[in-house]
């Protein structure tokens, strides 16, 4: 089942050979929409296959597939509009220093993109997921490295995508699929691979990032690696709605058995009565949560070992003890610890490392200085959340604005009075953040994810008949563009 280096090479070459068929944007959009239609048609079979491999359950998986199809169509819309091409046209200007010739810039596809699937999203961050959808939308064929947690689903989905391609006379090699750890390394090193997208662990992602950077010709590596997703609850917020925050937190951290990259993994809550009520309601809600099945046994082992190690640290309490549930399941739980323990380097640093699964850490702070001290020690995150009182949220008290300014440098998405789980597919979405949240400044979800798979090229003094239609003065494709410095659409 594992692909040899030769098989990886064949997949990459087949993908490269499919690229010309993606050059026509109308073909691309038709392909993306057909792919969404066919995935939906095959929904029952796909959900069944994915559930058998991941135990994520039909409700979650049906929703994930719907999201995936929505995403494919959203990228088709983006391609139709064409703003992503970044068309800029400058007519000659002799008054500039130095003079400006006729210059016309737009973006072209990078080439074959390697996509590394995630364990926890067999659809939305795997074969038909955001990396694949955005790469195809950009005009780049893909070779997907399947995740070993759902190889069968990956094959099924790839066959659906290839059927969609065939309907538009695109060679089936446009979506390649390989299995195996070594194949993944071969893939990122292949000379014809021009970029890579990855969703997974820090260790795995960093190894591939390093391989991408060490190539004779380095390539962009857009990896989403890991995130703690801190939450700060102000004293006033805890006083105002401690119970509600505790319940909301329980829902977010246990959602999908805690297997989301945006699970809130560290919560700064005040000492005192408000914080106590938060912890009490969190205790009740987490205590009521059923044991759940993690994606695979390795994850279960890591979770059980991880929570045990954390529980053993000084001053760490477990109002609800996380750990092994039944033979295959795990139970949700959480820890509390004085925030001061996290304010300086030490063995408690384990508590500011991501622990995949249904567990979070509530760090009780004395004052704003302790919040600042802990936040200053955090690595980069996909999200940061603040829970504010109504006065703080309304700007009546300056604390809300201050706190937003303090958490913004830490994350790619900042939430007020919400929970980070749930990543909308939307033009303004940013699912990325400072390292290790991502290895680049880009996003893997949302409209701008397409930007990752393009590079600009400028044509100088090129006669109109030789210009691509995207760059012609009369704008035959009706593209949004910047002409002589002015935006037009």
Residues 387-406 touching its own copies, rule: CB under 8 A, are 393-395, 400-401, 404
CB of 67 to its own copies, least distance (A): 6
How far is Cα 135 from Cα 133, in angstroms, rounded to an integer? 6
Q: Which of 36, 208, 233, 454 binds its own copies (CB under 8 A)?
A: 454
Of the candidates 6, 203, 217, 476, which one interacts with its own copies according to CB under 8 A? Answer: 217
Which residue from 463, 474, 476, 478 is in contact with its own copies, where contact means CB under 8 A?
A: 463
| Region 102-121 residues binding its own copies, contact defined as CB under 8 A | 103-105, 108, 110
Give the interface segment with its own copies, choosing from 42-50, 248-256, 325-333, 476-484 (CB under 8 A): 476-484
Q: Record the tokens describing residue 216, joined without a space.
A: 């004779």
- CA distances, 399 to each of 84, 249, 346 (Å): 38, 21, 30
Residues tagged active-site: 224, 261
Does 57 contact its own copies by CB under 8 A?
no
Q: Which is nearer to its own copies, 82 or 180 (CB)?
A: 82
Question: Rule CB under 8 A: is residue 220 a binding residue for its own copies?
Answer: yes
**In terms of CB distance, is 4 or 408 closer to its own copies?**
408
Here the tokens at position 273 are 């009565």
Q: Is 101 in the site for its own copies (CB under 8 A)?
A: yes
**Torsion-angle region of 433 (φ positive above 0: left; ψ -120 to 50: alpha; else: beta):** left
Instruction: CB nearer to its own copies: give 180 or 447.
Output: 447
In terms of DSSP H, where are the helices of 324-464? 368-375, 390-393, 399-407
By C-alpha distance, which of 41, 219, 27, 224 is closest to 137? 27
Closer of 274 and 400 to its own copies (Cβ): 400
Nearest to 148 by CA among 126, 128, 129, 165: 126
Stretch 225-264: interaction string toward its own copies, x if CB under 8 A? ----------------------------------------
Among 376, 418, 469, 473, binds its own copies (CB under 8 A): 418
Shortest Å distance, C-beta 123 to its own copies: 12
- Residue position matching structure tokens 């035959």: 476
Q: Decide: 12 and 196 in contact? Cβ < 8 Å.
A: no
By CB under 8 A, is residue 462 in contact with its own copies? yes
Q: Which H helix or E strand runs over 212?
A: helix 202-214
Burial (Cβ within 10 Å: 0-12, 13-18, ≥19) of residue 114:
buried
By C-beta, is 97 or 169 nearer to its own copies?
97
Q: How far is the CB of 166 from its own copies (least distance, A)?
A: 26
User: CB of 378: closest distance to its own copies in angstroms?
Assistant: 12
Q: Is 465 in the site for its own copies (CB under 8 A)?
A: yes
User: Binding of its own copies at residue 434 (CB under 8 A)?
Assistant: yes
CA–CA gap between residue 253 and residue 420 (Å, rounded): 9
Q: Measured between alpha carbons, how far is 302 from 308 in angstroms, rounded to an integer?
A: 10
**Cβ-based nearer residue to its own copies, 279 or 415:** 415
Kindly tell me which residue out of 26, 52, 305, 458 binds its own copies, with binding defined by CB under 8 A. Answer: 458
Contact 249, 264 (CB under 8 A): yes
The span from the CA of 158 to the CA of 154, in Å, is: 6
Cα distance between residue 161 and residue 147, in whole Å: 17
C-beta of 486: minimal distance to its own copies in Å? 9
86 touches its own copies (CB under 8 A): yes
Residue listed under structure tokens 């990078």: 110
Task: Tell me the Ramachandran region of residue 427: left when phi exceeds 0, alpha when psi lies from -120 to 50, beta otherwise.
Answer: alpha
> Contacting its own copies (CB under 8 A), which of 417, 444, 450, 470?
417
| CB closer to its own copies, 57 vs 459 | 459
435 binds its own copies (CB under 8 A): yes
Interface with its own copies, residue 469, by CB under 8 A? no
Task: Sketch the per residue contact string, 362 through 391, with its own copies: x for CB under 8 A, - otherwise.
Answer: -----------------xx-----------
Give me 73's structure tokens. 């169509």
Task: State yes or no: residue 36 binds its own copies (CB under 8 A).
Answer: no
Place of tokens 């400028």: 458
Q: Which is nearer to its own copies, 197 or 379 (CB)?
A: 379
Is 4 a binder of its own copies (CB under 8 A)? no
Determine, following the binding rule CB under 8 A, whether residue 427 of this chain makes contact with its own copies.
Answer: yes
Is residue 245 within 8 A of residue 268, CB to CB? The reply is no
Burial 447-477 (b: 16+ CB within 10 A, else e): bbbbebbbeeeebeeeeeeebbebbeeebee
Applying the rule CB under 8 A, the residues between 257 and 296 that interact with its own copies are none
Span 289-348, contacts to its own copies by CB under 8 A: none
CA distance 71 to 74: 5
Residue closer to its own copies (CB basis): 260 or 334: 260
Site for its own copies contains 207 (CB under 8 A)? no
Helix pair angle (58-81, 25-41), 10° resolution: 170
- 192 binds its own copies, rule: CB under 8 A: no
**What's the full length of the chain, in residues?**
489
Is 211 near its own copies (CB under 8 A)? no
């Amino acid at each position: 089942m594992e692909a040899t280096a030769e098989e990886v090479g064949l997949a990459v070459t087949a993908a490269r050979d499919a690229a010309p068929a993606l050059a026509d944007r109308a073909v691309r959009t038709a392909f993306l929409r057909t792919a969404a239609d066919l995935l939906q048609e095959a929904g029952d079979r796909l959900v069944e296959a994915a559930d058998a491999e991941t135990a994520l359950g039909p409700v979650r998986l049906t929703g994930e597939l719907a999201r995936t199809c929505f995403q494919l169509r959203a990228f088709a819309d983006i391609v139709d509009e064409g703003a992503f091409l970044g068309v800029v046209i400058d007519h000659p200007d002799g008054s500039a220093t130095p003079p400006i010739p006729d210059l016309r810039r737009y973006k072209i596809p990078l080439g074959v993109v390697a996509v590394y699937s995630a364990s926890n999203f067999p659809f939305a961050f795997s074969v038909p997921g955001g990396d694949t959808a955005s790469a195809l939308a950009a005009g780049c064929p893909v070779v997907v490295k399947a995740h070993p947690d759902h190889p069968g689903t990956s094959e099924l989905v790839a066959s659906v995508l290839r059927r969609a391609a065939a309907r538009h006379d695109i060679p089936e090699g446009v979506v390649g699929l390989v299995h195996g750890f070594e194949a993944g390394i071969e893939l990122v090193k292949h000379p014809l691979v021009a970029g890579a997208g990855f969703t997974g662990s820090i260790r795995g992602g960093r190894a591939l990032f390093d391989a991408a950077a060490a190539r004779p010709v380095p390539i962009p590596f857009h990896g989403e690696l890991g995130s703690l997703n801190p939450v700060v609850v102000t004293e006033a917020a805890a006083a105002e709605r401690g119970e509600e925050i505790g319940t909301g937190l329980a829902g977010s951290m246990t959602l999908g058995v805690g297997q989301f990259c945006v699970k809130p993994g560290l919560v700064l809550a005040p000492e005192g009565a408000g914080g106590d009520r938060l912890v009490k309601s969190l205790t009740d809600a987490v205590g009521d949560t059923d044991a759940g099945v993690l994606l695979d046994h390795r994850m279960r082992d890591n979770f059980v070992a991880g929570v045990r190690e954390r529980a053993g640290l000084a001053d760490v309490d477990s109002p609800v003890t996380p750990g092994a549930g039944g033979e295959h399941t795990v139970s949700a739980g959480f820890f509390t610890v004085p925030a001061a323990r996290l304010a300086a380097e030490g063995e408690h640093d384990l508590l500011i490392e991501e622990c995949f699964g249904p567990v979070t850490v509530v760090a009780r702070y004395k004052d704003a200085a302790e919040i600042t001290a802990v936040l200053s020690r955090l690595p980069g995150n996909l999200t940061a959340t603040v829970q504010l009182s109504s006065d703080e949220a309304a700007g009546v008290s300056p604390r809300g604005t201050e706190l937003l300014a303090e958490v913004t440098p830490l994350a790619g998405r900042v939430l007020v009075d919400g929970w980070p789980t749930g990543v909308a597919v939307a033009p303004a979405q940013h699912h990325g953040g400072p390292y290790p949240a991502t290895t680049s400044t880009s996003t893997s979800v949302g409209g701008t994810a397409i930007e990752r798979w393009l590079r600009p090229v400028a044509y100088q003094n090129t006669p109109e008949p030789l210009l691509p239609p995207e760059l012609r003065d009369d704008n035959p494709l009706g593209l949004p563009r910047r002409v002589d410095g002015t935006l037009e659409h």
